[in-house]
Amino acid sequence: MTHRPPHFLQDESWYFLTAHTYGTYPILKTTEHKAIWVHEFNKLIEVFQVEVSAWVLLDNHYHFLGYFENKEKLPQFMRRLHGVSSFHLNQLDRVKGRSVWYSYWDRCVRDEGDYWTKFNYIHYNPVKHRYVEKSEMWGFSSYRDVLDRNGQAWVDDVWESHPILEYDFEGGEK
């Protein structure tokens, strides 16, 4: 059986990863649901030694920008993240056997500009989907940590240097 979408992986690469819930149903609608995913995600980035520079979680999908030293670890990481988070989400909702995640998509980052554009896209995602008016208002992303660590001037410079408003990584160019 061929995996859809196909994954073409290489060692020592940054990846833009996306997954949405099965049927894009808002399974992660509450803080408690989102906390399960965040907990498992943080645990697994340590276990698999993945460097993550940006991430965001919404009610029915997530994105993250991660560096994988060994290409074989990427599908293992994703299977574990989806398997363990599904198990705990189904426990919380008292549902057995529900499909939570519908596959995942990976895009190897091509160059530095591509990296920063995807970085900005991830942090802008809650605004794009109208969850909040400003990225810093969304509590389920790395944006606030990036802002605290680097400062507003740095964040503004990255945004100005690599805008994302004319590109939609979930569906192609606008």
What is the per-residue pLDDT across 79-105, written as a single tens digit (0 to 9) for each? 999 999 999 999 999 999 999 999 899
> Are 174 and 128 in contact, with CB atoms under 8 Å apart?
no
* Element (DSSP H or E) covering residue 146: helix 143-150
What is the mean pLDDT of the segment spanning 27-43?
A: 98
Q: Which residue has the tokens 């993945």?
A: 50
How confident is residue 54, by pLDDT bands cut at 50, 70 and 90? very high
Nearest to 134 by CA among 144, 146, 149, 119: 144
Q: Tell me, what's the pLDDT at 81?
A: 98
User: What CATH number matches the domain at 13-173, 3.40.50.150, 3.30.70.1290, 3.40.50.80, 3.30.420.40?
Assistant: 3.30.70.1290
Rounded CA separation 91/97 (Å)? 10
pTM: 0.90
Is the pLDDT reported for residue 66 higher than 70? yes
Is the pLDDT reported for residue 174 higher than 60? no
Q: Facing residues of 172 across strands?
A: 168
Q: Tell me, what's the pLDDT at 173?
A: 37
What is the per-residue pLDDT across 118-162, written as a single tens digit (0 to 9) for each? 999 999 999 999 999 999 999 999 999 999 999 999 999 999 999
Q: Tell me, what's the pLDDT at 8?
A: 79
Those residues whose C-beta lies under 8 Å from the C-beta of residue 141, and which sit 6 or more positions away, are 54, 55, 56, 57, 122, 123, 125, 126, 135
Task: Show the beta-strand stretches assigned E in the chain.
Answer: 13-21, 51-57, 61-68, 101-108, 167-168, 172-173
Triad 109, 111, 115: Cα angle to 5°: 55
Is the pLDDT reported for residue 172 higher than 90? no
**Which amino acid would we find at residue 159?**
W
Rounded CA separation 142/123 (Å)? 7
Is the pLDDT reported for residue 51 higher than 70? yes
Average pLDDT, the chain: 92
Q: Tell me, what's the pLDDT at 1?
A: 40
Peptide bond into 5 cis (omega under 30): yes
